[in-house]
Structure 1
Amino acid sequence: MYRESEHTPQAIANRHYQVRSGQYLKEGWQIFSTQPAAYIGFLVLATITNTLLRSIPGLGPIAGGVSSSLFAAGYYFFSFRIVHNQRPAFSEFFNAFKNNYFLPIFLTNLVIGFITNVFVISASILFMIAGLPLLQSILERAAAEAAEPDADLEELLALLEQLPPVPYELIPVLIFAGVLLLLPGVYFGVAYMFAVPLVVEHQFDVWPALETSRRLVSRNWWSFFFLNVSIIFWNILGLCLCCVGLLVSIPWSSCVIVAAYRDIIGLRPTTDTPNPS
């Protein structure tokens, strides 16, 4: 347990630690298994709410994006109560919507999304441009081998033919540039993994949370990268299980991050009396 003076942004960023991925995956499951029905119920409720909000004409994408980021933070509120040996109420999931948390969590997610998406979207555009000749070749072959003319396919080919041709010698350059742009997006995506938890648990402001997480993670970035790859793998597996597995893997993923947070950063000292288990 760290002393109060060791919970400043500077002290946390300078933590000496080891990344124990296997331990975090196991402890994350232990956290999830204490209240599985609550985690799954909240995921179902959040999914339904986000779907309804996204269906609002005009404002749907914005409303859905904001609610998604706040609902995602709800897992942290609930999980941190558990690791503090307290009995969380279901309402803990909605703490991100409270006035003192809403703006910091929203802005933290907004900055993370902006920084990572600038690089990821730019890289995706370059990859798409580089893949246009291959796509056109595949579609032309499909049209030639089709037993009957396909109006939609011919319309798509006509659209591709109107685009400026991509010189073949330029394709490797576009792919290389896309990779160079993608790397910073991946870096920041991993480096900011503790930013929102720092807002939730340590109540840091936006920039201290972002910079503390980035500085801490960057010292052992590859280990955190492989931890994130492990989490993504289990979510893909959950998706393959007719999406039913996602009911478990999505909340469990947040529990894994909370387990890593507890081990590396440490829980904020609290005077709250733990609720009986």
Structure 2
Amino acid sequence: MYSESEHTPQAIANRSYQVRIGQYLNEGWQIFSTQPAAYIGFLILATIINGVLNNIPGAGPIVSTILAGLFAAGYYFFGFRIARNQRPEFTNFFDAFKNNYFLPIFLTNLIVALITNIFVVSASVLFMIAGLPFFRGLLEQAAVEGAAPDEDIRELLTLLDQLPTLPDALTPILILAGAILLLPGIYFGVAYMFAVPLVVEHRFDVWPALETSRRLVSRDWWSFFFLNVSIIFFNTLGFCLCCLGMLVTIPWSTCVIVAAYRDIIGLMPTTDNTDSF
């Protein structure tokens, strides 16, 4: 347990640590299995709320996107209480909406999304442009092999014919440029993995949370990258199980990050033991 003076942004960014992926996966499961019904129930509730909002014309999708980030932070509020051996309440999932948490969490999520998506979306556009000749070839082959003319394919081919022809020599350049742009997006996506948890647990403001997470993670970025790859792998397995497995893997993923946070950064000292397990 670190003393209170060791929980400043500078002290955390310079923290000595070793990333233990297997340990975090196991401890994350222990945290999740303490309250599995609450985790799954909250995921279902949040999914229903976001689904309803997404179907409301106008501001519905925008509100849904904002709430999705706050709901995601709710897993950390709930998980950190379990990590402290305190008894969580279902209402802890909604703590992001109170105690001055709303704005810092919203802004942190917004900045992370903007920084990562600038690179990811730009790279995706270049990949799409580079892949247009290949896509056109697939459509032409489908049109030739089809038993009857397909109007949708014909309309797509007509649209593609109106676009400027891409020189063959430009395709590898676009792919290379897309790969170069994608790398910073991946870097920041991993580097900011502790940003929202730092707002939740240490109550850091937006910029200290972002920079502390980035500086800490960057010192052993590849280990955190493989931790994230492991989380993605298990979520992919959950998706393959008719998506039902994701009812477990999505909240469990946040528990893994809570476990990593507890080991590497440490939880803030507290004297609140009145509701311990």
User: Residue 85 of structure 1 contacts residue 274 of structure 1 at CA under 8 Å; is this kept in 2?
Assistant: no
Partner of 2:135: 135
Partner of 1:153: 153
User: Residue 120 of structure 1 contacts residue 181 of structure 1 at CA under 8 Å; is this kept in 2?
Assistant: yes
Partner of 1:182: 182
Q: What letter matches 2:238 in structure 1?
A: G
State the 1:274 CA deviation.
Answer: 4.2
User: Residue 84 of structure 1 contacts residue 274 of structure 1 at CA under 8 Å; is this kept in 2?
Assistant: no
Percent identity over the alignment is 74
CA change 1:3–1:99 in 2 (3 A) is: closer
CA change 1:80–1:54 in 2 (3 A) is: same
User: Residue 127 of structure 1 contacts residue 175 of structure 1 at CA under 8 Å; is this kept in 2?
Assistant: yes
- Listed as ranges, the gaps of 5+ residues in structure 1 are none
Aligned to 1:168, the other structure's residue is in SS state coil
User: Residue 108 of structure 1 contacts residue 210 of structure 1 at CA under 8 Å; is this kept in 2?
Assistant: yes
- Listed as ranges, the gaps of 5+ residues in structure 2 are none
Partner of 2:173: 173
Cα separation, 1, equivalents of 2:236 and 2:62: 26
State the 1:98 CA deviation.
Answer: 1.3
Cα separation, 1, equivalents of 2:165 and 2:87: 62
Partner of 1:44: 44
Cα separation, 1, equivalents of 2:189 and 2:37: 29
Partner of 1:252: 252
Q: What letter matches 2:72 in structure 1?
A: A
Aligned to 2:88, the other structure's residue is in SS state coil
Map of 1:51-130 to 2, 5 A cutoff?
51-130=51-130
Q: What stretches of structure 1 move > 2 A for 4+ residues in a row?
A: none
TM-score (normalised: structure 2): 0.99
Q: 1:176-197 CA deviation, whole Å, 9 max, x = no partner?
A: 0000000000000000000000
State the 1:60 CA deviation.
Answer: 2.1
State the 1:272 CA deviation.
Answer: 1.1
Cα separation, 2, equivalents of 1:236 and 1:250: 10
Aligned to 1:100, the other structure's residue is in SS state coil
Partner of 1:19: 19
Partner of 2:229: 229
RMSD (Å) for aligned C-alpha atoms: 0.7
Partner of 1:266: 266
Cα separation, 1, equivalents of 2:225 and 2:59: 34
State the 1:65 CA deviation.
Answer: 0.6
Q: 1:246-265 CA deviation, whole Å, 9 max, x = no partner?
A: 00000000000000000000
Partner of 1:220: 220
Q: What letter matches 1:202 in structure 2?
A: H
State the 1:276 CA deviation.
Answer: 3.7
TM-score (normalised: structure 1): 0.99
Q: What letter matches 1:103 in structure 2?
A: L
State the 1:109 CA deviation.
Answer: 0.1
User: Residue 12 of structure 1 contacts residue 216 of structure 1 at CA under 8 Å; is this kept in 2?
Assistant: yes
Cα separation, 1, equivalents of 2:154 and 2:81: 58
Q: 1:54-84 CA deviation, whole Å, 9 max, x = no partner?
A: 1111112211110100000000000000011
CA change 1:129–1:106 in 2 (3 A) is: same
Cα separation, 2, equivalents of 1:58 and 1:167: 41
